[in-house]
Amino acid sequence: MIRTLLVWLLLTLPCVAAAAPLWDDFQIIMWQDQTPAQLASLRAIGVRTVRVTGVRDGPLDPAIAAVRAAKAAGMGVFIENIATDFYAPYHRFSPDHPGAPNWLFEELRARQRANPADQTVYRRTPSLVDRVWQSRIRARLAEHVRAFAPSKPLYYSLGDEVGIADLAAQWDFDFSPAAFAEFRTWLQAQYGNLDALNHQWDTKFSDWDMIVPELTAATLARQDGNFSAWADFRAWMDYSFAQALRLGADAIHASDRDARAAIEGAQAPGPGGYDYSLLPLALDVIEGAESGSNFEIARTLNADLVTMTTSFDSGSGEIGRIWRSMLTGSRGLMVWDDKGDFTAPDGTLRPRGQSLAPLFRELTGGLAAQLYASTAAPDKVAILYSPSSQRTLWLLDRQAKGAAWMAKGNMSEAEGADNHAGRRAIERTTLALVHLGIRPRFLTPTLIERGALRSSDLRMLILPQILTLSPREVDEITAFALAGGVVVADVMPGQFDEHSRKLQTPRLAALVRHGKLLKLPEAVLADSTATNAAAFEAMATLLTQARSKPEIRLLTTGNKPVTGVETRLFRNGGVTVIALQRTLPGREAVVISVSSQTRVFDLRKREAVPHGLKLTVQVQDDEPVILAFSPAALPAPILSGPSGMQKPGAALRWRLGFATPSPATVHVMRADWVAPDGTPRPALTTRLLVRDTPIDWTATLPPEPGRWTLMVSDMLSGAVVQATVEVGG
């Protein structure tokens, strides 16, 4: 009940805008300031957007001037850190504390160590429910959107590295009077009456206004396994944080329904407000580190959510990571260049820029757009992501370690490095499935309570470290198992109730007695790279039991299963796109069985792939193979447009389509202009989407006279059609 109400409350807030223009191509952003020469060099390799910092105090004139400068250089912008003082007060830059963004948080920790009885250290400033601050943030966001909307920023960032405390640090915020009032109201909605709460918490409160949550230190000292008074408060703070983000998003949408609201520097699932059953419902864009399958979870819950990651490095390892992120579903990349090692002030690409430039050109040249135009449909396997279980795991882990966890230098960074059992289980299970060509979907407790398991195409449910279950979840999981679904777990599920109170009998014990709960193989959980043959076979056996065998089987040249290649499938009508990427460094030959009638096209090499009944490809970690399999030849595009001499700068109308129907639903086309001297002009490139009917588009001619060539390339088939235009003097 508690979780269902949490999400229901969030969903009843004004909706996140769904009318924003499609984010249907890979976006690369440079964060640091650049010279005009650097911007020109960046544009040539696919970087299209730069940062403009919002203004929290004073007039917006400097930011408006920065937008104009970016536009003059042909670059788009995003608006950065508009409300960091509200969403990240304990982790933000201060000129008085260089290199220590969490200095204010460390001051709180020092005060707590000096006087453990001082509970004022647990008052978040500002409180997320402070009405004055909320009004201030609404007004500030509205002012920014009104000022910048004509420039159509890629997104508006509410804040960078946001969190309830310092990033994902565990801290007992918020003990302010306003927060307690909201928390008590929320508790009344959860429990209905005080007797029910006292029974759950093992307390004797005589009035709602007397209720206070339990501090982490006191909960860690408990021996009765009842963590409800702590866990309920953590659940409410996560909801309060998501609600505050939704408030900011709604303020942005109210001023411009097409605008996108974002946060940056997002963390792995865990403390600090990083409940990914709530965050995807509050925002349009999330940028940050990919950890604990956070973005896979988020995109499952909100298919329109855009996720991005950041590049700090170069070389083959970084190139492989960026490819993997894009193939998994992220739609952009932030380039962090604090050392100035990407471009020189004169625009010359430095070694890091040289290393990544070919990748940037390829990702923004239409390849990523073609994949986004396809559907990465989830398979018949679901994984339960349970924030309440992760809270309980966190507490049990800290109980075993004692009070030493409080003494770590930076709790947020320590938490990020401490990849606890809950995150590890989700990550490794997901990776094992991807190596078998299975894209799992993620469910939350709320979705299960609402009947998501009744979907006719689900065959398997995996419960990784699911310690908490509600009675409704148990009913739905049991019905799923009795109807023939396969339920798999690594530990005994439901040892605690949904409020994190230890139960005498685990809630899924009956499934064990009836042989309906299978064991997730230890080999899967122990294999961080999913390359172990025993783990591979064990997971394959489970899929067979669940009648969910992979559609594609990869073999070595020795006719054995390939265990170290991630396999991702995309649907585009009758065309299937398969992306293969090796997990470990190096190269491996992979054999795929293919019908002799199937046409195969290599989307990266831009060439047809000849084959018999078997196709052999070389797969690397930093050079994925991306192949389109079509049941028949794809039709060539037909281009028609004006003829004769044209005036410089004239707007010409062109038509593009196919002579015969295509088995593919969407073709991404790239229209390039080649100058009279034979050099392409990337700044004039246009990307087009062609479906079953021809499209018309208008292209403005360059001002230079001479014979220009318009070349249109089909990203899915490699076909190229062109036309020439004479531009008069």
* Widest Cα–Cα separation across the chain: 90
Q: Is residue 54 within 8 Å of residue 81, measured between CB atoms? A: yes
What are 700's strand-pairing partners?
A: 651
pLDDT digits (tens, 9 = 90+) for 118-154: 999 999 999 999 999 999 999 999 999 999 999 999 9
pLDDT above 60 for 10: no
Rounded Cα distance, 243 and 11, in Å? 10
Tokens of 243: 């609600």
Tokens of 251: 């303020």
Model confidence pTM above 0.75:
yes
Distance of CA 3 to the CA centre of its chain: 22
Task: Report the pLDDT averaged over residues 348-373.
Answer: 97
Percent of the chain with pLDDT over 70: 95
Nearest to 604 by CA among 453, 487, 716: 716
User: Quick check: helix, strand or coil at residue 229?
Assistant: helix
pLDDT digits (tens, 9 = 90+) for 418-429: 667 888 899 999
pLDDT above 50 for 19: no
Higher pLDDT residue, 11 or 280? 280
Q: Is residue 494 within 8 Å of residue 506, measured between CB atoms? A: yes
pLDDT above 90 for 528: no
Task: Report the pLDDT averaged over residues 492-508.
Answer: 97
Listed in sequence order, the DSSP H helices in 527-620 are 533-545
pLDDT above 70 for 86: yes
Give the start-end residues of each E strand in 499-586: 517-519, 554-555, 565-572, 575-582
DSSP character string of 687-724:
EEEE-SS-EEEEEEPPSS-EEEEEEEEETTT--EEEEE
CA atoms within 13 A on the CB side of 593: 7
Give the start-end residues of each E strand in 210-302: 261-266, 285-288
Rounded Cα distance, 14 and 16, in Å? 7
Give the per-residue pLDDT at 606. Answer: 95
pLDDT above 60 for 4: no
pLDDT digits (tens, 9 = 90+) for 88-101: 999 998 888 988 99
By CB neighbour count within 10 A (0-12 exposed, 13-18 middle, 19+ buried), where does 321 fall? middle
User: Quick check: helix, strand or coil at residue 254?
Assistant: helix
Give the per-residue pLDDT at 407. Answer: 67
Listed in sequence order, the DSSP H helices in 437-559 are 445-449, 471-482, 509-513, 522-526, 533-545
Q: Is residue 189 within 8 Å of residue 236, measured between CB atoms? A: no
Q: Is residue 395 within 8 Å of residue 501, measured between CB atoms? A: no
Structural domains in the chain plus CATH codes: 48-304 (3.20.20.80), 381-545 (3.40.50.880), 554-630 (2.60.40.1180), 637-727 (2.60.40.1930)
pLDDT digits (tens, 9 = 90+) for 217-255: 999 999 999 999 999 999 999 999 999 999 999 999 999
pLDDT digits (tens, 9 = 90+) for 679-725: 998 888 999 999 999 999 998 888 889 999 999 999 999 999 999 99
Higher pLDDT residue, 40 or 2? 40
Rounded Cα distance, 566 and 434, in Å? 6
- Pairing type for strands 695-700 and 651-658 reads antiparallel
Rounded Cα distance, 572 and 664, in Å? 5
Give the per-residue pLDDT at 12. Answer: 44
Which residue is it, tokens 């294999």? 527
Tokens of 691: 């479906």
Mean per-residue pLDDT over the chain, rounded? 92
What are 98's strand-pairing partners?
A: none
pLDDT band at 15 (very low <50, low <70, confident <90, very high): very low
Nearest to 689 by CA among 715, 723, 721: 715
